[in-house]
Amino acid sequence: MIAPGRRLLVAAALAACVSAAARGAAPTYLVEWVSRTGEAMQRVTLFSDGVLVRKSRAADGKIEMKKRKLAASEYDSYVALFRAPDAAGAAGVFESGMSGEGVVHSVITVTNPGGDIWTLAFDSFAALTPEADRLRRALEDLRDSFGKLRASSGDFPPEKLVAGAILRKRDGTEFRILRFDEHAGVVEVRGLNEPYSQFFKIESLAGTFLPP
């Protein structure tokens, strides 16, 4: 039996998506994560203009909202993650069946430029697929990013960008450096579980990877 909290979250997410599709409007956000614990609710939204908003409502009705603008390279890294060709493979319902006031029920909604959407629903006891868990961790990083110092290009000095070194994205995905062209300012990396190479400008590393 589906928990009431989860039914409300999924119904709200689907209603918003159907409405947007019916209007044929371009999506106003890249990804949104709505979570509910009893009477408390939190909404984390990354808008298409790079603005990140976290709005929380406590069980007593108190509301808190925080907002920040992502750097272009940081925003682009999330676009690459959530709109990757295989990202929708994380979609689905992963409910454990557990109930109670302490269980957190969540729905993640991801949009695509054409207006298509997909959702991922789970609770705090759910067993997620590796793909779904990767997206959840990326959303947790966004949720917890307020008030934290983010990486800068200075955190990636040339002496740490040597062949064989490992760079880790905020979602936990690991990449091995294949080569660093200091003259061009470009790093070539390959995912430990991916067969293809990617190229990053040094100034864009801070928006995609954790400091080495």
What pLDDT was estimated at residue 16? 45
Residue-wise pLDDT tens digits, 114-123: 888 999 999 9
CA distance 25 to 1: 35
Q: What is the DSSP letter of 178?
A: E
How many domains are contained in the chain? 2
Kindly tell me if the per-residue pLDDT of 172 is higher than 70: yes
List the 92-94 sheet strands across, edge first: 63-69, 51-57, 40-47, 29-37, 105-111, 117-123, 92-94
Residue-wise pLDDT tens digits, 156-167: 888 899 999 999
Is the residue at 165 inside a domain? yes
What pLDDT was estimated at residue 1? 43
Q: How confident is the model at residue 150 (pLDDT cuts 50, 70, 90)?
A: low
Q: Are residues 24 and 124 in the same domain?
A: yes
Question: In the listed set 94, 121, 143, which residue is the last one of a domain according to the structure?
Answer: 143
Q: Are residues 75 and 116 in the same domain?
A: yes
Kindly tell me if the per-residue pLDDT of 18 is higher than 60: no
CA distance 140 to 137: 5
CA distance 174 to 165: 10
Q: Mean of the per-residue pLDDT values for the chain?
A: 83
Q: Are residues 22 and 109 in the same domain?
A: yes
Q: Are residues 134 and 194 in the same domain?
A: no
Do 71 and 3 contact (CB within 8 A), yes or no?
no
Q: Are residues 45 and 75 in the same domain?
A: yes
What pLDDT was estimated at residue 25? 67
Kindly tell me if the per-residue pLDDT of 54 is higher than 60: yes
Range of the domain at 175: 153-205
Q: Are residues 67 and 14 in the same domain?
A: yes
- Pairing between β-strand 186-191 and β-strand 63-69 as defined by DSSP bridges: unpaired
Question: In the listed set 143, 162, 178, which residue is the last one of a domain according to the structure?
Answer: 143
CA angle centred on 17, ends 12 and 22, rounded to 5°: 130
Is the residue at 212 inside a domain? no
Q: Which two tokens stand for residue 167?
A: 């760079």
Do 29 and 47 contact (CB within 8 A), yes or no?
yes
Q: Are residues 122 and 44 in the same domain?
A: yes
What pLDDT was estimated at residue 102? 83
Tokens 């069980």 locate to 59
Q: Are residues 181 and 92 in the same domain?
A: no
Q: How confident is the model at residue 19 (pLDDT cuts 50, 70, 90)?
A: very low
Mean pLDDT across the stretch 45-68? Answer: 94
Do 128 and 172 contact (CB within 8 A), yes or no?
no
Q: Are residues 114 and 165 in the same domain?
A: no
Q: Are residues 135 and 171 in the same domain?
A: no
Kindly tell me if the per-residue pLDDT of 181 is higher than 60: yes
Contacts of 67 (CB under 8 A, 6+ apart): 51, 52, 53, 54
Kindly tell me if the per-residue pLDDT of 50 is higher than 50: yes
Mean pLDDT across the stretch 135-143? Answer: 90
Question: In the listed set 143, 163, 193, which residue is the last one of a domain according to the structure?
Answer: 143
Is the residue at 180 inside a domain? yes
Measured on CA atoms in the order 104, 170, 134, 168, is the torsion positive or negative? Answer: negative
Measured on CA atoms in the order 201, 204, 209, 210, is the torsion positive or negative? Answer: positive
Kindly tell me if the per-residue pLDDT of 17 is higher than 50: no
We report the CATH number of the domain holding residue 123 as: 3.30.1560
